[in-house]
Structure 1
């Protein structure tokens, strides 16, 4: 039965419920719980005990991109060609386009975004050309050779014209690319986190969601700047690793800003997959809330506390300045949420799972900075039972 043919009034027996996590096997011996999965892992995040706060990034909170897509596509196409709906959170775009089109699109986007004044690239190249012009003028004034010529202005004028063209092309791309969503945003049902079934589908096989763990992974650039991302990795690599390179099955959930944003992302993913919880109250999922049984019952009971079209009405009326202010206010909410030292429900289901925990900062953002005397590290508390202890309203 295809995804679109699944019954809409119930979940599969395999659906994930945080109050019914089954007993599981310990991980393979080489995957010692006393150490993190990778040298770049900073921490493993706890299961369950949701805070109920969504990350303030990208399309999840107060970003207008989702509304532009929704307006153009309409509800039916938006559900199919959107990254996330009430049934699956896709992780792969399966484009039905030829390689030549992809090649042209790549270089078009590369040119228009690199040289555009939007984002600052154009200003950089124009600035460099002006500096070169000034150097030539300076050299001619103090060490004259052939005299100043209008030809020296050709380079900055050409660079300015090039960047202006790139800016126009980028604006046209951002305005009109949505018209090609059926070839550009054909999100795959075959590589996805599936709420109805509780299964994570991948090219290496299908695995239960509760077999995945979340890690904060740190990377650094050539200048030593640190970056953190959320990695959701399969716990049993002997069943899912890539046979060609031995790499484990994992998914990257990017988030900008503080490490608390990554905790919020994992919290939102857990609530999305947990059918005992309503869908996260984010703009992209609002059109589908009535299609999910748990969420429909939650909303009909008045627990959401918002109109059915809250997000759509907000974006139809709010200015960019208001949305920007809301994003900043919500970012502060995410940073202030009590992410640290929560119990981990998975410790009751996987032998030895909780033995590897070390002290965790009460403010999880301390992971991203040098330790200071004001940081308070505490031990993660032990889960008392297999129920979600914090079922706060998820908005």
Structure 2
């Protein structure tokens, strides 16, 4: 993220009010982003960017405002990752949780590197160390297998156990970018011993940049550029397809928009009862509290494939109503039709 030449501009001081779950006005501050009530803002200044800045920003995303495809199930957590209850008091005290904040971590910050290292060590431990010890022990002799198990698998396994213990819970980040739903603010890390900068969400414009890896593989990245400065924020993930960037932008918009419920994801499901707009939406649509968590991982992965296909087929650039009128099918409909075909085949097999 670049925070160079960040201009100072008047922003209404935001104050998050004490929460009363039955009163939306007591939860969302006056500065919360509401797509139904656009603010009056100064016109976008003319940018005289050089080649490097234009390359860093990438191409402006010009989709209809808001979330329309909404196939958020095609990316994110697994149902097994969010089993059990949450200590909502701790989330409220620390001003975080899926009903309050989305964070984009700095990939070079130590807690993030430490968690990445855990996954790498896990792969070498179980896919490399344990499998190699068993394979060598069977085909070259038991003593060789024991040697590998003792001097390769066990040390790696010990490191993995330590990292797993250190990484328990959610990482405590300092350099991340934070998006606050209840205040409509984006909080930026500017450097050590400097206060975080707060900027309204609706002052950012979405861009998509193209990346080429060392092996020649290509990917796409969502970027947010501040309209009145040179501040540029990059999404921590890289996407294999353009529609992945579009989905990430839709999900962020829906999260920040207090006229809309929280994005319907596995991670957010446990936090839905603590966001008034989402509570009202779930009551009106009769959404089950454990809609995603009642899936086992394998079934959910099957659903993710269906959701990914729906996102890939979506006529991006059109509203949801336009897409449905043209015959586009959301994942819910595709899943139900697939279930019906499966049941029909079973009935035919029995007959």
Q: Is the shorter-chain TM-score for this pair beyond 0.5, marking a shared fold?
A: yes
The yes-or-no answer on 1:280 pairing with 2:257 is no
1:337 aligns with one of 314, 322, 346: 314
Residue aligning to 1:112: 121
Count of residue correspondences: 291
**Structure 2 CA distance, aligned partners of 1:222 and 1:292?**
43
**Structure 2 CA distance, aligned partners of 1:202 and 1:92?**
11
The yes-or-no answer on 1:25 pairing with 2:43 is yes
**Structure 2 CA distance, aligned partners of 1:35 and 1:83?**
35
**Structure 2 CA distance, aligned partners of 1:46 and 1:107?**
33
Residue 255 of structure 1 and its aligned partner are, at CA, apart by 5.1
Residue 12 of structure 1 and its aligned partner are, at CA, apart by 1.6
Gaps of 5+ in 2: 1-13, 191-196, 320-329, 334-351
The answer to whether the Cα contact below 8 Å between 2:101 and 2:178 also exists between their aligned partners in 1 is yes
Residue aligning to 2:224: 232
**Structure 1 CA distance, aligned partners of 2:331 and 2:121?**
43
2:172 aligns with one of 169, 176, 186: 186
The 5 Å alignment of 1:1-395 reads 5=18, 9=23, 10=25, 11-21=28-38, 22-31=40-49, 37-38=54-55, 41-46=58-63, 48-51=65-68, 52-54=70-72, 56-59=74-77, 62-67=78-83, 70-71=84-85, 73-77=86-90, 84-92=97-105, 109=118, 112-113=121-122, 115-117=124-126, 120=127, 122=129, 161-165=150-154, 168-169=157-158, 172=161, 176=165, 180-181=168-169, 185-186=171-172, 191-204=177-190, 205-238=197-230, 248-254=231-237, 256-300=239-283, 302-303=284-285, 305-312=286-293, 314=294, 318-339=295-316, 341-342=317-318
TM-score normalised over the length of structure 2: 0.65
**Structure 1 CA distance, aligned partners of 2:47 and 2:263?**
36
TM-score normalised over the length of structure 1: 0.59
Give the secondary-structure state (helix, strand or coil) at the position aligned to 1:112.
helix
The answer to whether the Cα contact below 8 Å between 1:40 and 1:218 also exists between their aligned partners in 2 is no
Work out which of the two has the higher radius of gyration on C-alpha atoms and give 1 or 2.
Answer: 1
Deviations 1:331-377 (A, max 9, x none): 212212222x348xxxxxxxxxxxxxxxxxxxxxxxxxxxxxxxxxx
Give the secondary-structure state (helix, strand or coil) at the position aligned to 2:235.
strand
Give the secondary-structure state (helix, strand or coil) at the position aligned to 2:219.
strand
RMSD (Å) for aligned C-alpha atoms: 4.5
Gaps of 5+ in 1: 94-98, 131-149, 239-247, 344-391
The answer to whether the Cα contact below 8 Å between 1:82 and 1:187 also exists between their aligned partners in 2 is no
**Structure 1 CA distance, aligned partners of 2:212 and 2:48?**
27
**Structure 2 CA distance, aligned partners of 1:338 and 1:110?**
36
Deviations 1:213-255 (A, max 9, x none): 22222211222111222222322225xxxxxxxxx33131415
